[in-house]
A and B are shown apart, each in its own frame.
Chain A
Amino acid sequence: MSGIAVRVEGVSKRFRLYHERNQSLKAAMMRGGRARYEDFWALRDVDLEVPTGSTFALIGENGSGKSTLLKCMARILRPDRGRIVLAGKVSALLELGAGFHPELSGRENVYLNASILGLRKREVDARFDEIVDFAGLEKFIDSPVKNYSSGMYVRLGFSVAINVDPDVLLVDEVLAVGDETFQRRCDEKFAALKAQGKTIVVVSHALATVRTMCDSAVWLEDGRVKDLGPPGHLIDEYVEQMHPERELVEDAETGEAQGTRWGSGEAQVERIELLGRDGEPTRQVRMGESVTLRLHYRADTPVAKPVFGLGLHRLDGVHVSGVNSREAVVPDQIEGAGHVDFALRRLPVLPGTYDVTVSLMDYANLHTWDFRNRAFRFDVEPGLPREAEGVVVLEGNWSIEPDR
């Protein structure tokens, strides 16, 4: 496996932003010929090489030009300057099922779509069963696709595109399709393609996936290459730079009104704080750091044997953990203001954004004084260990010892 699958040489792409987008002859003549527009350079002088057999990610903020670059690679857009040299057959997953005709059956659409993607009938014949099987649509393959659910539609589109057997596969964040079973099959398929030495270029915001899946990445900013290299380091820097902006957005979101709140109110959790390694309140911490969640409470009337609960949800809804203080520390009664700390020696959750839910209940779990759903949001940046998958890092020690 050597050589360059995609060579991007000094590519610039200009879009025309029309001031008045009316494509009519009258308007054109009144302006005296050409439409008035401003030039917008979506890509400026981009140089990069994607080695054959590697998995390559394009990352950057919205509008940084990564999708434009991918479309240039797919030959859908033509660069205004520079050139892109592709080695081998290219297939692009930009939109699944583009070109499906609703009145035609799944079978007819498979042949049609495959030929749009450049397959000959012979080749489709050979792969047809595999395509249908992968999409899991054996029973429906002869009914018109207009009767398909959106999931079925997309699954069939994906299945055709992935079975084109390209040398270079360009993917634009369409991986998140279908149910979990289908997701897993897609992941397996990508892994298989990777193992076969296919080159994969992805545009993705799923940084965790990029980190684990990709061999290298390019970070685009305002159409320029900001940085290029192995994804681990690149993503760390990217996250570092992106954070200030994200914090602002999320601060606004985590106002009082954001989560639901209920309870009788004799005692309340007034404020939630996340203390970083230095003991200062923060909203960004690193994986593996020691952190403390501090709940500031206030009890206007004395309440007996309160139990504090903490729930942690990932932004996509996964319930990461739920813990409470019942078996740890239960004061006989609280009155007035104070705080409860939940200290973690090593934050075990993977990088991402998390919501904290807190509760304040009686010992028997029957009465709720205060319950604040998703009342606090914080970000976890990559830290140690660098390589981790799943939801949390299990605290454990590795040891190795040969048998005697």
Chain B
Amino acid sequence: MTSLSALADSRELLANLTARELRGKYKRSTLGWAWSLLNPLVLAGMFTVVFSLIFRAPAPVGHPSGLKVFPLFLLIGLLPWNFVSNGINGAIDSLTSNANLVKKVYFPREVLVGASVLSWLVSLGIEVGVLVLALLVAGNMVLPWLPVLVVLLVLQTVFVVGVGLALSVLNVYFRDVQHFVALFLQLWFYATPIVYPLSFVQSFVERHHAQLHGVPVLALYHLNPMVGFVESYRRVLYDLRWPAFGDLAYITVASVGMLLVGALLFRRFEPRLAEEL
């Protein structure tokens, strides 16, 4: 897989371009990195007000942790989601916004996509760091689970890089891709148990069993890899227990598969990039 080995060979360039993204992002803002934290906090606050105060949805109880704090429950799903959303959008932009570079200098182009995703991973890392502190303050002893968290983060990065490679190169040929993705991400957000617990979907399916005519709604719902990701993050950070084996297996397969598909597509379309941009 030349695409992936190219990415591995240019680690230093990858690091430098990631640093460029990060430095450029908040360079001239007064709050700088605080923006990276402020954004999810405001979102979490907003959803907390809407769901737990207006709709009076009870905060789910972590088992076995016994934690019952809606904003934390929400953030554990929201932060990985933001990584997916920002990472994919950033990756799509990465080729078109660096068109000049692609046209004038030779280097493995995958690096641009990789650097964009990595810059968002760094943001996620900081956000998760703060989240872990908050969880500790709330009494959740998450420290022993951090290695599992790292595994999940790596898998998710693989997933986002795969999606990013595929969409970024398609976007060069069809600029509709980015608009379509913007729309799709909104739907995807609500198809993922972020603002609601997975149990909602389960009880919905049980209640409406008759009307569904045997359509395997729950299985279809689980096809969304983000369901597995968010559930696994919740179990590790909120419940303090091992992710379900099925979820873990599925997201591993989905991530690696997505990466292969992305790398193949990228390799297929990469040769004409400089002239199509």
Contacts and interface: CB of A to CB of B under 8 A. Distances in A.
13 contacts: A25-B174, A76-B103, A76-B105, A77-B274, A78-B271, A90-B106, A98-B100, A99-B98, A101-B20, A111-B16, A112-B20, A115-B13, A116-B101
A310 interface: no
B174 A104 contact: no
B23 A103 contact: yes
B23 A78 contact: no
Contacts of B20: 101, 104, 108, 112
Contacts of A111: 16
Interface of B: 12-13, 16-17, 19-20, 23-24, 27-28, 98, 100-107, 172-177, 180, 271-272, 274-275
Contacts of B19: 112
8 closest A-B pairs (Cβ-Cβ)?
A: A25-B176, A78-B271, A98-B104, A95-B104, A75-B106, A103-B27, A115-B16, A99-B101
Interface stretch (A117-125, A348-356, A360-368): A117-125
Contacts of B24: 101, 103-104
B11 to A, nearest CB: 10
A169 interface: no
B275 A24 contact: no
A44 B271 CA distance: 18
A15 B177 CA distance: 23
A192 interface: no
Range class of the A interface residue count: 20 to 34
B105 A92 contact: yes
A74 interface: yes
Interface in A89-116: 90, 92, 94-95, 98-99, 101, 103-104, 108, 111-112, 115-116
A76 B274 contact: yes
A23 interface: yes
Main secondary structure, interface of A, reads loop
Main secondary structure, interface of B, reads helix
A24 B274 contact: no
A77 B105 CA distance: 10
A112 B16 contact: yes
Nearest to A114: B16
Nearest to A98: B104
Nearest to B100: A98
B105 A99 contact: yes
A98 B105 contact: yes
B105 A117 contact: yes
Given A76-B102, A90-B106, 16 more contacts: A15-B275, A23-B172, A23-B174, A23-B175, A25-B180, A71-B274, A76-B103, A98-B104, A98-B105, A101-B24, A103-B27, A103-B28, A116-B101, A116-B105, A117-B107, A118-B13
A63 to B, nearest CB: 15
Contacts of A95: 100, 104-105
A74 B19 CA distance: 26
Nearest to B272: A78
A108 B17 CA distance: 11
Given A23-B174, A115-B16, A76 B106 contact: yes
Interface string A76-90: 111000000000001
B158 to A, nearest CB: 24
A25 B107 CA distance: 29
Given A99-B105, A118-B107, A121-B12, A24 B175 contact: yes
A116 to B, nearest CB: 6
B223 to A, nearest CB: 24
A78 B276 CA distance: 12
Contacts of A120: 12
Contacts of A24: 174-176
A120 B14 CA distance: 12
Contacts of A103: 23-24, 27-28
A116 B13 contact: yes
Contacts of B172: 23
Contacts of B275: 15-16, 77
B272 A26 contact: no
A320 interface: no
A94 B105 contact: yes
A76 B104 contact: yes
Nearest to B172: A23
Contacts of B106: 74-76, 90, 92
Contact of A116 (B107, B174, B177): B107
Contacts of A94: 104-105
Contacts of A117: 105, 107
Contacts of A121: 12
